[in-house]
Structure 1
Amino acid sequence: MLSIEGHDRRQEDCLLSREDGRLAAAYAPRLLFDKNEPFYPVRFGITVFREDGDSPSFRRRLQVSRPEVEAVIEYAVYYDYDIQHLYDLEHIWVYIARDGEVADVEASFHGKYLKGLLHGRTNLSGTRSSLYVQPGKHALSPMPEVFGLLPGYAACTQEAAGADGLIYGDCFRGLLASDEAADQKVRQYLQTCRFTPSGVYEYWEYAHREELFVSWDELFAEIPERVRNELERL
């Protein structure tokens, strides 16, 4: 039988450490959102890799064993909604060099990922890069022009809003389930959130908001409850 002391220790092991929280805030990329964006992140699930390892929430392995890299911070960026579905999980990876500088940045883009630093590192200021967020869909890029090249860029925020209902990542299989009734509720709600991107991007500052940063374990436990609460609210 697990002692109360042991149980408390296990809970503490799942929490974001002070050092990892400090790193996450110090290297948090600056995010630029379209000024008409209806949805913003509600939580950042942090994993700091100090050795090679598999991402707990994205299909890739992080390579830390490079001469110039000290650690990799994975930001699992959770939104309650994408304009087309309930549940949205994006990712940013910041590679920290041994001298404390930013060695590299990568960011998720519709199931894949892009390099997050422009040529000449012109979108990097100190330890913080700047990344644009696709209106409504939340894919990330160091340049916004790429979004307009995507098929369905305009339709997804208009007539196709809510088209996907409830979706969820593979790591939540067995914890979340969708059906036609749930999908229909999501579609109806997101149709009321239709918008036209302005093309004007504004910085959304969040690095000082400690409540947004949690460990991945904490976020993993929170997401199913958030989804269920949203379905009840709808």
Structure 2
Amino acid sequence: MTADRPVLSRLDVPQIARDVAPILMLDRAEPFRPVGIGVTVFDVPGPSPSSKFHVALRGAVCIEYATYWDHDIGHLYDLEHIWVHLNAAGEVTSVEASFHGQRHDVDLTLQGKRPVVWCEAGKHAHFQNAAHRDAMAGATQYMTAQKAGLGGVHLGNRFADEFGAIGPYQHRLARVFLGRLAFAPALGRGLPYDMADGPLCPWSALASFIPQRVQFLLADMAANMPHFRALFLDCGDTLVDEGTEIKRDDGSDVVIEAKLIDGAASMMDALRDAGFRLCLVADGPRETFENVLKPHGLWDHFEAHVISGDVGVRKPDQAMFTAAMQAMELSPELAAQVPMIGNNLDRDILGANRAGHPSLFFRWVDRRRTVPNGPEDTPTWHFTHMDQCLPLLTHLEIALDQKV
């Protein structure tokens, strides 16, 4: 479990900032809402404290609204901006807003004395008007569907150094979370979001809040979000071609060298780079696996090595899987979030199924039985080429909460 979720309370801002706060027109399928809105009032030109832009006055005052969202559909972390320009009478005369890293003018449409600004579905860029939104519909649909989550944790921002350690694992958590939120924009009539009723606060308060909020989100996903906590992998005929094994000639079962299956090294690199925690779960003497994996640079890809020669039993004995969960410091109830990848229906698949793990059958050679006898040794999924493994895992991981 993680600590309480940090929440930003409404704090005092100049009344004029509430009086002219924009009304955002959100897509009716929009999955997110602003978490904090930092206000800065300019009565002289100067650099924005929250963006890369310089604020040039177009009248008496400019009010900057920096809107923080926990996510856009492509990233964890999003910060967007609107600048509302006022004349000496306090009337809105023009509006600027951020749009995918740039800034442009927004057509001035007022509801009372407050500007109305159209917001892109999922991405939260600000359109010039409804016609601009419609012209961008194809690009928006692509970003909210095919590209959902692909950006992981957004690191191109001023707060990134305060997020804590961000590596492949954290990026994968964000991708899984957002991949599950892929959606089709409704377009058409917008859904008003009144920024005056949102969590308005001075920019300095929002700037202090954002890093702790992101740290919480990452910790919460790691602790509570369904995702693949680890991967268990077999070795023989899963990574190593058993047909190339050379064994010690002393009558022992120790393999002294063997070749990898084509694509095994690339697959292992891809799994590591995708942030998966890897555990070897293999039958045989420890020396065998050191002899065949270390020369190919794969031994250290594994965070733990659970080997039957050390445990004292072979798969499908549940003790092998229990030992592997303990080695990865995972509780037994998380077994459904730890797939086993192997080539042997009688050992890898049967053992994983009995222990409550998803089972992925790698059938690249017919050296052993390849047709299940029944439900107990039927794999959750199967693949036949190394380059299918990561895409398959990505699909299955996003579908975890849908119980595929």
Give the TM-score range, shorter chain: 0.7 to 0.9
Candidates 140, 157, 179, aligned match of 1:191: 179
1:126 & 1:169 partners in 2: Cα distance? Answer: 37
Q: Which runs of 4+ in 1 moved over 6 A?
A: none
How far did residue 49 of structure 1 move? 0.8
Q: Which residue of 1 aligns with 2:90?
A: 100
SS in 2 for 1:207: helix
Given candidates 193, 198, 204, the residue that maps to 1:217 is 204
| Residue aligning to 2:114 | 128
Equivalence for 1:26: 19
Larger CA Rg, structure 1 vs 2? 2
- Residue deviations 1:133-177, cap 9 Å, x none? 100000012423324544732221112100000014532243235
Match of 1:83 in 2: 73
Letter in 1 for 2:76: L
TM-score by length of 1: 0.83
Superposition map of 1:14-163 within 5 A:
17-18=12-13, 20=14, 22-64=15-57, 69-117=59-107, 121=108, 123-150=109-136, 152-163=139-150
Instruction: Determine the structure 1 residue equivalent to 2:368.
Output: none
- Rounded to whole Å, the distance in 1 between the matches of 2:112 and 2:124 is 24
Kept in 2, the 8 Å contact 1:93–1:106? The answer is yes
In the alignment, the residues of structure 1 paired with residue 114 and residue 123 of structure 2 have an alpha-carbon distance, to the nearest angstrom, of 22
Distance in structure 1 (CA, Å) of the matches to 2:162 and 2:197? 32
Contact 2:22 2:194 in 1 (8 A): no
Pair 154,54 (structure 1): closer, same or farther in 2 beyond 3 Å: same
Equivalent residues of 1:167, 1:178 under 8 A apart = no
Q: Which has the higher contact order (CA 8 A, sep 6+)?
A: 1
Q: How far 1:16 moved relative to its partner?
A: 5.9
The residue type equivalent to 2:49 in the other structure is P
1:208 aligned partner, one-letter code: D
| 8 Å CA contact retained: 2:118, 2:133 | no
How far residue 51 of structure 1 moved from its aligned partner, in angstroms, is: 1.0
1-structure distance, mates of 2:63, 2:46: 12
8 Å CA contact retained: 2:22, 2:195: no
Task: Say which SS state the counterpart of residue 141 (structure 1) adopts.
Answer: coil
For residues 39-98 of structure 1, give each alpha carbon's deviation from its aligned partner in whole angstroms, at most 9, with x where no partner exists.
01111000001111100121111123x5xx111100000100100100000000001101
Q: Secondary structure of the residue that 1:154 maps to in structure 2?
A: helix
Q: Are 1:36 and 1:197, in contact at CA under 8 Å, matched by a contact in 2?
A: yes
Match of 1:164 in 2: 151
Contact 2:48 2:54 in 1 (8 A): yes
The letter of the residue matching 1:38 is P
Q: Quick one: distance in 2 between partners of 1:188 and 1:111? A: 25
Question: Relative to total residues, which structure has the larger strand share, 1 or 2?
Answer: 1
User: Cα distance 1:101–1:40, how it changes in 2: closer, same or farther (>3 A)?
Assistant: same
TM superposition shift of 1:206: 3.8
**Aligned residues of 2:106 and 2:129 also touching (Cα < 8 A):** no
- Tell me, what secondary structure is at the counterpart of 2:187? coil
Give the letter aligned to residue 139 of structure 2.
Answer: G
SS where residue 40 of structure 1 aligns? coil
Question: Number of aligned pairs?
Answer: 209
Conservation of the 8 A alpha-carbon contact between 1:88 and 1:168: no
Whole-angstrom distance in 2 between the partners of 1:35 and 1:108: 21
Q: Which runs of 5+ in 2 are unaligned?
A: 1-9, 222-404
- The Cα shift of 1:17 comes to 4.9
- Does structure 1 retain, via aligned residues, the 8 Å contact 2:95–2:106? yes
The one-letter code of the counterpart of 1:76 is A
Alignment partners' CA distance in 2, 1:83 and 1:208: 24
Q: How far did 1:111 drift?
A: 0.5
Distance in 2 between the 1:16 and 1:25 partners? Answer: 11
**Alpha-carbon distance change, 168 to 217 in structure 1, aligned in 2, over 3 angstroms:** farther
